[in-house]
Amino acid sequence: ATDFLPDSGLWQWRYWGKGSFTPMHARWDVAGKGEWRDKLIELTALSTGFDKLQYGTMEVSTPRLVLDQPVRWFRDAEKPTFSGALALNAGQTRFSGGSTLPPSVLTFSVD
């Protein structure tokens, strides 16, 4: 951080981690970076995912959420804005009865 106070100055960060998500029998990881520059909070990199998600009779392989466009939150009292775009990439989805769904990508934006 450089001369940082909320909405004044610059704070750049990186984050990372890993762990277990016991309810869905999964291991997860997260990594990314961003900054808070004056009134703008920006997430410029994100990658978070699981080795699998297993719930009941369904198992999704390697779902991962990544940024398509940076997430930006402009903290203005008169005209605040929030925007960004993300993509959820998932491998094959299997069901215990033998049926499957092919790998898929869900892209979405936030405003």
Mean pLDDT of the chain: 94
Left if phi > 0, otherwise alpha if psi is -120 to 50, otherwise beta: which for 98? Answer: left
pLDDT digits (tens, 9 = 90+) for 63-78: 999 999 999 999 999 9
pTM over 0.85: no
- Strands lying side by side in the sheet with 40-50: 2-5, 8-21, 26-37, 40-50, 64-74, 81-90, 104-110
Query: Does residue 59 contact residue 93 with C-beta atoms inside 8 Å?
Result: yes
Give the model's pLDDT for residue 18.
97
Parallel/antiparallel/unpaired status of strands 58-61 and 52-55: antiparallel
Q: What percent of the chain has pLDDT over 70?
A: 100
Q: Give the burial class of 63: count Cβ atoms within 10 A of its Cβ; 0-12 exposed, 13-18 middle, 19 or more buried.
A: buried
Rounded Cα–Cα distance for residues 51 and 19 (Å): 11
Rounded Cα–Cα distance for residues 57 and 43 (Å): 35
Q: Report whether pLDDT(2) > 80.
A: no
pLDDT digits (tens, 9 = 90+) for 80-109: 999 999 999 999 999 999 999 999 999 999
